[in-house]
Amino acid sequence: MQQKKLVSAVALMGSMAALTACNNGDDVNVDLSSGSGGSGGGGGTVSTCPAWTSPEAQTSDGTNVCAIENDIEENRTLTSDIRWILDGKIEVGNGNSATFDTESEADNLTLTIEPGTDIRGGRADSWLIITRGSKIDAAGTADNPITFSSEDDDLEGAGEWGGLVLQGFAQANPGNNVDAEAGLGIYGPTANDGVSNDDSSGTVQYVRITEGGFEVAPGEELNGFTLFGVGSGTTIDHIQVNDNQDDGIEFFGGTAQVSHLVLTDNLDDSIDFDLGWQGNIQYAIVKKNSESDRGIESDNNGSGFDVTPRTRPTIANLTIVGATGAGANALHREGMGGFIHNAIYDAGDVCLDVDDQNNEINNDELIYDDVIFNCAANTAGDDDDGNANEFADSILNNNRSNTVFDEDPMLDENTFQPSSANSTLGSAKNFRTVQENAGDAADATADMNFLDETDYLGAVDPDASSPFWFEGWTLEGTL
């Protein structure tokens, strides 16, 4: 009896393979009827899936489950009526498979992901890479966000799969055709086209990424959301990265701009950027736990602090809620410059640590403007400038445009709204004007077509009312 079942199953799977091979892209549906079923507990009913994927057992509620096993070499759409499984590393396009001389050598593909789609890493070593020249169109909505997670049904468990990676042709200070860390391919400008800082890698909106950070090489875990040389033409807003083993979001060069960012319980740095990133972030909530490292870790280039283009972003309306035992709420080092406006660093052991600086302090290239500090120690005690002083103290005390308030912001633990004396300004601030007045106007990177003028500190307007911008689409219980 067992032998008959085995022979029947083998014959049936052979029929499935034949159907897949000859249906020219049509869906495949094979019903194993009332067997015990595979993953998903769907009673053994094999899913109806596109021919370019592998059908798995339906879930217990009858949802089709389709595995993506091969790189994507045509325009494809992930629909919301299917649970999609990433079976290993999946690349879209050929943009990191060769060192191109021109951008035209890269594929121009689009991976479309419908609102409400559920995408899961089927193995720990699964991740999705949109390579240079191709795009992702992942436009979720507040009511139907897109979710990336591991294959199990809960949404907690750092390191259970990889993460989401975008690559582009925008600037990176190591030069052209840069090798990405952890063997993730090639990014940045080509040899003959020059820098494409307005390059677009597509759209990522209302997307939640959780449980990622698998170690792809010794000591190298994936970030939840990684941007390699991504340009300002990319639309990125309403993003949550939760419970990632490594960084929440990291920018390697590029000019990408992000708004409405939520980073919760990530175990390394929540926001990390280096290698010449000159983009913008506005409206960001960072919530750390005792196992987290820094809220921000930022560098220019460890091989040359003055290498250009310099890391020099603008970050506005940021709230970092630290934790005892976690790393500093912000670490700046290795020649990084930039502007932090209208921010709140609340709780935790250290608010600000600045190391390995060169001329940023004297040249007003690292500016903290209208920021509240409320940590056990507002600056680190590294004494690292050679004169028994901490660089962070110099940043706070020397630059003429810095305004840092030492007070409890009185954050509402549910809404993240501040109510302290200095959490509201007298008028809305034009960030670019402040930056031009602080130093070299040519270095003022604030994009006022992207950044809103605001008259309050932190990520949430004290005068706003529910629903707040982070409500409804973020993972339940994470804020």
User: Any bridge partners for residue 98, and if so which?
Assistant: none
Fill in the DSSP letter of residue 213: -
Could you write out the DSSP letters of every residue in 311-363? P--EEEEEEEE--TTS--SEEE-TT--EEEEEEEEESSSEEEEE-S-SSTTTT
pLDDT at residue 6 in the model: 32
Integer Cα distance of 287 and 263 in angstroms: 6
Quote the mean pLDDT of the chain: 89
Mean pLDDT to the nearest integer, 173-200: 94
Burial class (CB in 10 A: 0-12, 13-18, 19+), 2: exposed
pLDDT at 358: 59
The structure's pTM equals 0.91
- The arithmetic mean of pLDDT across residues 155-167, rounded, is 96
Least confident of 182-196, 259-273, 371-385, 389-403: 389-403
Which whole number is the average pLDDT over 126-146? 98
Question: Which of 7-16, 360-369, 452-461 has the weakest average pLDDT?
Answer: 7-16
pLDDT of residue 320: 98
Q: What is the pLDDT of residue 443?
A: 77
Q: How many CA atoms lie within 13 A of 181 on its CB side?
A: 19
Between CA 209 and CA 163 the distance in angstroms is 7
Which has the closest alpha carbon to 363: 335, 333, 393, 387? 335
Tokens read off for 455: 């008259």
Rounded mean pLDDT, 329-345 = 94
For residues 257 and 254, give the distance between their C-alpha atoms in angstroms, rounded to a whole number.
9
pLDDT (0 to 100) of residue 23 = 41
Nearest in space to 300 (alpha carbons), one of 334, 254, 348, 341? 334
pLDDT for residue 30 is more than 70: no
CB 311 within 8 A of CB 299: yes
Which pLDDT value is given to residue 12? Answer: 36
Does the pLDDT value for residue 102 go beyond 60? yes
* pLDDT of residue 59 exceeding 50: yes
Cβ contact 254:311 at 8 Å: no
Where is average pLDDT lowest: 69-78, 364-373, 418-427? 364-373
Is the Cβ–Cβ distance between 57 and 44 less than 8 Å? yes
Distances (CA, A) of 123 to 117, 214, 418: 19, 10, 42
What pLDDT is attached to residue 385?
66
Q: Give residue 386's pLDDT.
A: 67
pLDDT interval class at 38 (50, 70, 90): very low
The dihedral formed by the CA atoms of 366, 372, 375 and 380, expressed in degrees to the nearest 10? 20
Question: Which one has a higher pLDDT value, 399 or 101?
Answer: 101
Contact of 113 with 202, CB cutoff 8 Å: no
pLDDT digits (tens, 9 = 90+) for 201-253: 999 999 999 999 998 878 888 999 999 999 999 999 999 999 999 999 999 99
Average pLDDT over residues 453-478: 98
170 neighbors 255 (Cβ within 8 angstroms): yes
Least confident span in 10-14, 55-59, 396-400: 10-14
What is the distance between the alpha carbons of residues 333 and 391, in angstroms, rounded to a whole number?
10
Pick the closest to residue 278 from 252, 246, 239 (CA basis): 252
pLDDT at 31 over 50: no
- Does residue 395 have a pLDDT over 60? yes
pLDDT tens sequence across 374-384: 999 999 987 76
Predicted confidence at residue 454, as pLDDT, reads 98
pLDDT for position 371: 97
Contact by Cβ (8 Å): 225, 209: yes
